[in-house]
Amino acid sequence: MQSESIAVERRRLPFTLIDNVILEDQALGPVDILVYLALAKHADGEGRCWPSMATLGKLARCARETVARSLKHLEARGYIKRTARFRPDGGVTSNVYQLMPVEAKRYPPVAQDDTPCDPGSHPLVIVDHTNYIQSELDPREKREAPPAPAEDPSQAQGNAGAPLPSLLRRIRKESQRQGAPPSFIGHDFSAGIGELVKSGVSENELVQAFAACIETAPERVTFFPRDFLKWRKVSRERRAREQRQNYGREKRQASEKELAKEREQILREREDPYWQAQIAAAVAQLPWRRVRG
């Protein structure tokens, strides 16, 4: 009864309630918690919901591939249960997510010291984990950090003064080729691109999808990492269309070459004395060329 009342309040109030256990579980990363919050936001009185992957990615501020990993992690930890759904025509639609009940004291609370410690006595923590979309490094440290050696002599610089990786340089060049300034390449954009690369997306496919985005909707370029699947589909359809057009053009060119060869062959045969004699003999045998005596 208490869980049902909490679920009702979750939908009624302008905020979302989750169990403290979720926050206290140190095995969960920030994106895992954000994805769980997005699920809890949509859950009904029985703890069920069926938001799309795009909706979860938008609320969790991450790519669809990252959402899929977080859902798998949450299910493995026993916090959710997924059930596939299908349309009447057999097509696949969004899953049904069931928020599972959790024990109130499954994890001990994180202890806090009443006396603040000296920040200078502890180094800053940098966590390199796929669930983290931002580094915990102080922005001032980023600006003061010495630049790493660039991959080429051009020493391309980003907004924060650090050399851009080769992929981000290619993206910047593509935006400049389209006449758009690379002001969108910030930390969040770079982190989103990094998540896509970690998920196995090739650099060429990323650049091609980015070109489709900036040519079709340049105002959405800042959100490109989040909308990558959409623009990858657009770029693939464009490449397929261009391949069909190239195939048709090559086929026409080949046909024109064959016709040109046939015309050249006919002209050569007409100028050959042997074929001229053969044509004259054939013409002489025609009925309308015979002279009656």
State residue 140's pLDDT score: 45
Q: Is there a contact between 48 and 96 (Cβ–Cβ < 8 Å)?
A: yes
Q: Which helix (H) or strand (E) holds 99?
A: strand 92-99
Q: pLDDT for 4-55, tens place per residue?
A: 545 445 555 677 888 888 888 888 999 999 999 999 999 988 889 999 999 9
Q: Which residue has the tokens 């657009």?
A: 234
Query: Domains in the chain, start-ordered, CATH in brackets?
Result: 2-99 (1.10.10.10), 162-293 (no CATH)
Q: pLDDT for 258-280, tens place per residue?
A: 888 888 888 887 788 888 888 88
Q: Is there a contact between 17 and 6 (Cβ–Cβ < 8 Å)?
A: yes
| Cα 117 to Cα 168: distance, rounded to the nearest angstrom | 39
| Residue 56: Cβ within 10 Å count | 27
Angle between helices 187-198 and 203-216 (to 10 degrees): 130
Q: Is there a contact between 148 and 46 (Cβ–Cβ < 8 Å)?
A: no
Residue type, 148: A
- For the entire predicted model, the pTM comes to 0.37
Geometric angle at alpha carbon 208, from 204 and 210, rounded to 5°:
115
**β-sheet with 92-99: strand ranges across:** 48-49, 92-99, 80-86
Geometric angle at alpha carbon 175, from 174 and 181, rounded to 5°:
150
| Cα 285 to Cα 3: distance, rounded to the nearest angstrom | 107
State residue 292's pLDDT score: 56
| Cα 39 to Cα 10: distance, rounded to the nearest angstrom | 11
State residue 37's pLDDT score: 92
Tell me which DSSP letter residue 204 carries: H
Among 29, 35, 106, 105, CA closest to 64: 35
| Cα 156 to Cα 158: distance, rounded to the nearest angstrom | 7
Q: In the chain, which residues have pLDDT < 50?
A: 1-2, 5, 7-8, 122, 124-164
Q: Long-range pairs for 166-173 at CB < 8 Å and ≥24 separation?
A: 166/203, 167/193, 167/197, 167/203, 167/206, 167/207, 168/193, 170/203, 170/207, 171/206, 171/207, 171/210
